[in-house]
C-alpha cells in the first residue's frame, strides 16, 4: 500500500510538472521582475524568516547583536547551506524567503535572498545579496559588514573575511563586460 501511495505521489508530481510546463510562458510573463525590483523579495519580517530568526536567537543566552551576531550569522548560513536544497525549476519563478524556508527548496538566488533576509532579521540591515553575471555564468553571494570587516558568504564554497567592502569587490574580479549588482530590502545598486 505504501508503495502505491508513493507511486501516486510520483505521478501527481509528474502531472503538476506537465501542467506547469504547458503554461510556462504565461507564468514567466506574469513573474517577470525587473532587477531593480529585487529588494521587494528580501523579507526580514516574513513569518518563516522570523520563526527561524527566533530559533537562531534562542540558541544564545539573551541574544545581543554586538556580541552574538557573528555566530548567529554563521548559524543562518549553515541553515541555508545545509537545510535548503538547491533546485532548478523548469521555469523562471521567484520564491519569497518564507516559501524557500517552508519548502526547504530554492534556486541559488532564492537561497541567498533567504540568507540575506535572515541576516537583516538578526539585526544587520546592511546585509546584501551580490550578483555577478559573466559570459561564463552567474555568481551569487551574500555579504555583511560587522565590526570593521566584511564577510562574504558563498553557499557553495563557504565564507571569507575581508577588511572592507572594497577589498571584497576587488577579490571578485569583476570584468568590464560583466554585470554586477547588489541589493537588500532597502536598496538596489549597480556595481559594474
In DSSP notation, 101-150 reads HHHTEE-HHHHHHHHHHHHHHTT-TT-EEEEEEETTEEEEEEEEEETTEE
21 and 77, same domain (yes or no) = no
Please report, for the domain that includes residue 54, its CATH number.
Answer: 3.10.620.30
What range does the domain containing 18 cover?
1-31
176 and 83, same domain (yes or no) = yes
88 and 172, same domain (yes or no) = yes
Which pLDDT score is estimated for 37? 79
Contact 72, 85 (CB under 8 A): no
- Strand 105-106, strand 85-86: pairing: parallel
59 and 153, same domain (yes or no) = yes
Which pLDDT score is estimated for 30? 58
51 and 3, same domain (yes or no) = no
166 and 184, same domain (yes or no) = yes
For residues 186 and 36, what is the distance between their CA atoms, to the nearest angstrom?
Answer: 11
Q: List, for the chain, all residue ranges whose pLDDT scores fall below the cut of 50.
A: none
61 and 23, same domain (yes or no) = no
Q: Based on the structure, what is the number of domains in the chain? A: 2
The mean of the pLDDT values for the chain is: 89
Terminal C-alpha separation, the chain: 57
pTM reported for the whole predicted model: 0.86
Amino acid at each position: 500500500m505504501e508503495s502505491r501511495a508513493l507511486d501516486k505521489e510520483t505521478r501527481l508530481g509528474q502531472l503538476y510538472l506537465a501542467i506547469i510546463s504547458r503554461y510556462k510562458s504565461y507564468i514567466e510573463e506574469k513573474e517577470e521582475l525587473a532587477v531593480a525590483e529585487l529588494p521587494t523579495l528580501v523579507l526580514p519580517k516574513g513569518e518563516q524568516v522570523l520563526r527561524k530568526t527566533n530559533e537562531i536567537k534562542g540558541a544564545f543566552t539573551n541574544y545581543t547583536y554586538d556580541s552574538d551576531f557573528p555566530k548567529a550569522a554563521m548559524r543562518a548560513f549553515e541553515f541555508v547551506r545545509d537545510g535548503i536544497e538547491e533546485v532548478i525549476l523548469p521555469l523562471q519563478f521567484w520564491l519569497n524567503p518564507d516559501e524557500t524556508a517552508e519548502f526547504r527548496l530554492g534556486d541559488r538566488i532564492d537561497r541567498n535572498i533567504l540568507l540575506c533576509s535572515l541576516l537583516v532579521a538578526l539585526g544587520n540591515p546592511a546585509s546584501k545579496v551580490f550578483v555577478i553575471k559573466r559570459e561564463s555564468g552567474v555568481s551569487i553571494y551574500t555579504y555583511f559588514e560587522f565590526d570593521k570587516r566584511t564577510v562574504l558568504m558563498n553557499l557553495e564554497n563557504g565564507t571569507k573575511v575581508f577588511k572592507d567592502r572594497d577589498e571584497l569587490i576587488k577579490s571578485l574580479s569583476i570584468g568590464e563586460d560583466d554585470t554586477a549588482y547588489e541589493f537588500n530590502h532597502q536598496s538596489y545598486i549597480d556595481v559594474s
